[in-house]
Structure 1
Amino acid sequence: MRRTVSRRAAVVRTVAAAASVASLTLLLGACGADKGAESPAKGAGASAGASAKGEEPAAKTLTAAELEKAALAQGDVTTHQVVNGTKADEVPPGAVKTDKPECKPLLDAASAVPVGKPAAKVLRKAVQKPEKMKVDPTASAEDKAKAGLDALSQPVTADVLASYDGKGAQEGYAAYAKAAEACAGGFGGEQAGEKLAFTKVVPDAVTGGDEAQGWTIAMKADGTEVLTKLAVVRKGNTLATFYTISLGGTVKEQPASLIAAQVKKLG
């Protein structure tokens, strides 16, 4: 079991770190999911997007400061606890490898690494709040530990915003689609020396922004299939990627409320 959790954490070490930080916050605050959670706007852009309708107006390339302002902050979405990424979360160059070069955009996304050469980037880490989480101050140490483990099993998402010059965002968006199609049957990878095996990539329905697409990505961990989620949304010259994993097992659905809140903040 320990080895399985280790491999899941290796898929996106930044997200795994977020799980412990944000879940501890949930545990100490005895938080539950708030009512009235955001939902995706009806009629939001699908994968066909605005680009299918013709040439888009010139879009602004956001600076690092503008991306920071546009990125989610704690309180922007009621269904998730949000924390900022740090320098320590960045994956070193060369730490992410794959046996199929055409699949690298997918493994990069799973490692919170933006595709191509962005002009600027920011990272947010978000853990989904449990629907109910009550911690009795008089509970036993065992019960408190169990509550903490339950919180750690909540889906955790790496939300990466990256801005591009020229057609970089459109090209990056297309690179994810190309990689998903080419690697539908699976691929192997390595992150910081940890061997990874992805078995399939299946399209998901995702909406938002000018273009949006998503996938379920299955990986094998000690003989057990684990399902993770990847969503990519383009808004003008900015790409937002959302990679979701659960240290407790399979992720059942895309973080729709988180995606909707982030796209809304991008304007």
Structure 2
Amino acid sequence: MRSTLVRRSVLTASAVSLALLVTACGSDKAAKDESKDGGTSAAPSAPAADPAAKAKTAAELKGLLVTQADLAEHVVKEATATELQEATAAYTTTKTECQPLALVMAGSGPGKVAANVATKVTGKPKAPAADASAEEKLKAITDALKVTATMDALNSYEGNGAQEAFAAVKAAGTACAAGFPGAKEADTGKVTKIAPGPAVTAGDEAVSFTVERELDGDKTPTQLVVVRKDNTLAALYTISFGGNAEAAKVVVDTQVKKLG
């Protein structure tokens, strides 16, 4: 029991530090399409990126990334290159068709990424009152372990690279419905299921998936939202041991707004 709690606590910390990091109404046909491809949103013919478009630089991407000023009720901290490398290593999979999903979950993107930036967004735990009882303080600690953490990454591509990357992620969501093996499952938990998430309307095209992870027999739903705007691909991966990954909707909405 204690071992499980410790590992879950460590996993929560990993999510916050990015070692871990870190979807409608319509016709019957639309509902069937959504169940196959995830919570998808796009115009009948999604606007294409200019084939001659130049990729944004890392500095330009940073200007589009959410900041502490955008999310006062959260703690926002830019991810370091080392954290992103560790996350990518943890999520690498031998199942080739699932690698696009593994990459966006890790804060990167499939294909030839020209520039990549990411930030960690964590809900602020509620501190116990100064005169709180021992029981109330213990509850505050327990509640803190249920914090919702989101890894928000932006990737830029030359030409139509972002369109190709989005298509790869969407296809992987269908091909990998039964989950996929990870390089460090003992730390990150095993991906056991991928299903359509709540529908998302954003950018030129968007898709979301509910990603189920299992650690020590406990299953935790996490949420992945991927949005393409011109030749920029945004990926937001959320985990919450409170079982409410959708609590990060404000983070997703804020990031989408900044993309324009």
* TM-score range for the pair, normalised by the shorter chain length: 0.7 to 0.9
Percent sequence identity is: 41
Give the aligned residue type for 1:64.
A
Map Cα deviations across residues 165-189 of structure 1 (whole Å, 9 max, x no partner): 1111111101111110001122221
Secondary structure of the 1:90 match is helix
Where does residue 154 of structure 1 map in the other structure?
147
Q: Which runs of 5+ in 1 are unaligned?
A: 20-45
The 10-residue stretch of structure 1 (64-73 or 120-129) with the greater mean CA deviation from structure 2: 120-129
CA distance in 2, matches of 1:183, 1:221: 19
Cα 1:90–1:75 change in 2 (3 A) is: same
Equivalent position to 1:257, from 240, 244, 250: 250
TM-score by length of 1: 0.76
Aligned residues: 237
CA distance in 2, matches of 1:136, 1:18: 30
Answering whether residue 70 of structure 2 is matched by residue 69 of structure 1, we say no
Where does residue 224 of structure 2 map in the other structure?
230
Where does residue 120 of structure 1 map in the other structure?
115
Answering whether residue 7 of structure 2 is matched by residue 6 of structure 1, we say yes
CA distance in 2, matches of 1:252, 1:244: 6
Cα 1:178–1:193 change in 2 (3 A) is: same
Where does residue 89 of structure 1 map in the other structure?
83
The 10-residue stretch of structure 1 (206-215 or 106-115) with the greater mean CA deviation from structure 2: 106-115
CA contact (8 A) 2:224 2:237 kept: yes
CA distance in 2, matches of 1:53, 1:186: 28
CA distance in 1, matches of 2:236, 2:98: 17
Where does residue 37 of structure 1 map in the other structure?
none
Give the aligned residue type for 2:228.
R
CA distance in 1, matches of 2:133, 2:232: 48
For residue 235 of structure 1, report the CA deviation from its aligned partner: 0.8
For residue 54 of structure 1, report the CA deviation from its aligned partner: 5.8
Q: Which runs of 5+ in 2 are unaligned?
A: 20-38
CA distance in 2, matches of 1:150, 1:11: 12
Cα 1:57–1:47 change in 2 (3 A) is: farther
Give the aligned residue type for 1:147.
A
How do 1:1-267 residues align onto structure 2 when only pairs under 5 Å count? 2-3=3-4, 6=7, 13=14, 15-17=15-17, 47-50=40-43, 52-53=45-46, 55-57=48-50, 59-92=53-86, 94-129=89-124, 133=126, 135-140=128-133, 143-191=136-184, 194=187, 196-204=189-197, 205-246=199-240, 248-253=241-246, 255-267=248-260
Map Cα deviations across residues 200-241 of structure 1 (whole Å, 9 max, x no partner): 111111121111100001122111211110000111111110
Secondary structure of the 1:166 match is coil
Secondary structure of the 1:91 match is helix
CA distance in 1, matches of 2:72, 2:204: 24
Cα 1:159–1:142 change in 2 (3 A) is: same
Cα 1:5–1:157 change in 2 (3 A) is: farther
CA contact (8 A) 1:215 1:229 kept: yes
Give the aligned residue type for 1:170.
Q
